[in-house]
């Protein structure tokens, strides 16, 4: 068993892709902006076990540009798949101890599957990614549509690529493919593992992946586009986070307003407006996430218009502004630091009130109370502080 030695990847992209019924072979068609060949190259380029990449293209095809950080060579294929792989093999460096072959028509191959296949080939000499049959397998004879027998599903695996080989094993397989008569089924082997098996080598199965589908028909292509669409929609997209902080003195003779809710207490927050520190911190967090300045810039306290203003209304205005800039508010979280009063009995009402101003569901708004353990100004009850974060998505 060898655990070292360079690894070369051969990406088979020479197929004519006639089944897709378009002028350009399928592997060169853009799939959500990137061709299948480039997607396959990217997967091997990202795999730290792979040292070099050889792409085998059609003998007369024009070759669109391919990009990789690793050494990448493009070679012309032959008449049959096995001729193309043989040309790719010749182009790999002599130092390549393991050669991993992949069909460009499987653009969803993962780095993890490539790694598993390489590791198994180092151990067993040859390895093939394959899926356990999940459907019951029926066999027919002579092109008939009548079932001749049902095969034992437990014994059936459906081969995918990558397939990886020790250099000597692949050389044997290629030689075997050259020697067979034109009438032999090996004359048009559909994978290299088949040639290695016939040359007497052990080939180990590595569990493949359902998403590692081969895109052959128009239906497959549409399915692949839908998978990428959904991945894009489900992904995080352009998500921005903002942080906000506010502190106000607690003084007698003022109402205590937090999140638009007036809380019974013997003191209130001192300020130009209603001094609602939760609303102020959240407003700054929302503006911060949108890169849209801060509360002081939007509502200067030198402006008499904001004297005694409802900070919940100001938050509502800011939400409208960031919406106009194409932002959607995903969630808001705030921590209120105060020795007194106890916030817990009011949290539900505050969340409900903030959710209304933010235009989101209350379960996307979180408010938590915290004491300062008697330490400092906050601990002595001279002031109340709020920390907040907001997460927004740019549409
Ligand atoms: Mg403030």
CA of 280 to the centre of ligand 1 (A): 5
**Count of residues making up the chain:** 395
Supply the pLDDT for residue 79: 86
DSSP 172-231: HHHHHHHHS-TTSGGGG-SSHHHHHHHTT---EEEE--TT-----SHHHHHHHHHHHHHH
Cα-to-centroid distance, 385 and ligand 1 (Å): 9
Do 126 and 48 form a contact (C-beta atoms < 8 A)?
no
Q: Are 274 and 282 in contact (CB under 8 A)?
A: no
Cα Rg of the chain, angstroms = 32
Model-level pTM greater than 0.95?
A: no
Q: What is the pLDDT of residue 2?
A: 47
Rounded to whole angstroms, the Cα distance separating 265 from 261 reads: 12
If the chain, 395 residues long, is cut into consecutive pieces of 10 residues, what is the mean pLDDT of each piece?
78 77 77 88 92 92 81 92 92 94 95 95 97 94 92 94 97 88 78 91 96 90 84 67 98 96 96 94 98 93 82 94 85 97 96 91 92 96 98 83
Q: State the distance from the centre of ligand 1 to the C-alpha of 42, rounded, in angstroms.
A: 50
The predicted pLDDT at position 3 comes to 55
So what's the pLDDT on residue 233? 56
Ligand 1 centroid, distance to 217 Cα (angstroms) = 61
Whole-number Å distance, alpha carbon 361 to ligand 1 midpoint, is 25
Residue from 67, 61, 118, 240 nearest 75 by CA: 61
Task: Quote the CA–CA distance of 184 and 377 in Å, as a whole number.
Answer: 89
What is the CA(281)–ligand 1 centre distance, in A?
Answer: 7
Report pLDDT for 20. Answer: 57
CB-hemisphere CA count at 13 Å for 282?
36
Ligand 1 midpoint to CA 297 (Å): 12
């Amino acid at each position: 068993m060898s655990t070292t030695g360079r690894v070369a990847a051969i990406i088979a992209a020479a197929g004519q892709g006639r089944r897709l019924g378009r002028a350009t072979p399928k592997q060169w068609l853009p799939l959500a902006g990137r061709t299948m060949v480039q997607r396959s190259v990217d997967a091997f380029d990202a795999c730290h076990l792979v040292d070099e990449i050889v792409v085998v293209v059609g003998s007369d095809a024009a070759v669109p540009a391919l990009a990789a950080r690793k050494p990448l060579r493009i070679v012309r294929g032959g008449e049959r798949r096995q001729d193309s792989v043989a040309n790719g093999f010749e182009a790999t460096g002599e130092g390549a101890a393991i050669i991993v072959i992949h069909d460009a028509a499987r653009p969803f191959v993962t780095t993890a599957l490539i790694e598993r296949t390489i590791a198994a080939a180092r151990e067993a000499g040859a390895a093939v990614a394959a899926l356990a049959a999940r459907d019951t397998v029926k066999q027919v004879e002579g092109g008939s549509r009548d079932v001749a027998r049902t095969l034992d599903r437990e014994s059936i695996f459906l081969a995918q690529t990558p397939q990886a080989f020790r250099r000597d094993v692949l050389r044997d397989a290629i030689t075997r493919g050259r020697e067979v008569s034109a009438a032999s089924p090996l004359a048009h082997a559909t994978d290299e593992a088949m040639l290695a098996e016939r040359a007497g080598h052990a080939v180990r199965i590595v569990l493949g992946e359902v998403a590692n589908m081969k895109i052959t028909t128009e239906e497959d292509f549409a399915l692949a586009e839908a998978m990428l669409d959904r991945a894009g929609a489900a992904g995080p997209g352009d998500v921005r986070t903002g942080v906000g902080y506010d502190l106000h003195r607690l003084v007698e003779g003022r109402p205590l307003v937090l999140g638009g809710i007036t809380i019974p207490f013997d003191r209130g927050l001192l300020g130009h407006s209603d001094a609602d520190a939760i609303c102020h911190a959240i407003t700054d967090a929302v503006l911060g996430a949108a890169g849209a300045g801060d509360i002081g810039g939007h509502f200067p306290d030198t402006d008499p218009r904001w004297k005694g203003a409802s900070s919940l209304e100001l938050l509502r205005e800011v939400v409208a502004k960031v919406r106009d800039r194409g932002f959607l508010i995903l969630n808001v979280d705030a921590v209120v630091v105060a020795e007194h009063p106890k916030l817990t009995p009011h949290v539900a009402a505050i969340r409900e009130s903030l959710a209304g101003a933010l235009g989101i569901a209350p379960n996307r708004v979180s408010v938590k109370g915290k004491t300062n353990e008697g330490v400092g100004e906050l601990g002595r009850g001279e002031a109340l502080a709020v920390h907040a974060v907001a997460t927004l998505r740019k549409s």
